Amino acid sequence: MSPLALAIACLLTITIGYVGMCAASPFGTCRKCNGFGFAMETDRKGRPKRGKSCRRCKATGKRIRAGRWLFNRAQRIYREGTH
């Protein structure tokens, strides 16, 4: 198999895998708060405590994946264009 065909096959496999993951699980953990929904802080003794709520995920700990966001946007544009 030529290197070009191998590269295309690898990219196609990764793309199909990501599409499947976005379809099965459209929400992933928030990268800002690591899925906690709030920032971890430490008190003066060094023990962890709850900080402020995460503004990026609105304290849910979950965010929509980029691929799912693009799919939803494309669906919305198509729906609005056909009516």
In a structure prediction context, what are the per-residue pLDDT tens digits for the chain, which is 83 residues long? 799 999 999 999 999 999 999 999 999 999 999 899 998 888 899 998 998 999 999 999 999 999 999 999 999 999 999 87
Nearest Cα neighbor of 69 from 22, 3, 15 is 22
According to the model, what pLDDT value does residue 14 have? 97
Q: Per the confidence metrics, is the pTM higher than 0.95?
A: no
- The full DSSP string for 18-80 is HHHHHHH--EEE-TTTTTSSEEEEE-TTS-EEEEEEPTTTTTSSEEE-HHHHHHHHHHHHHHH
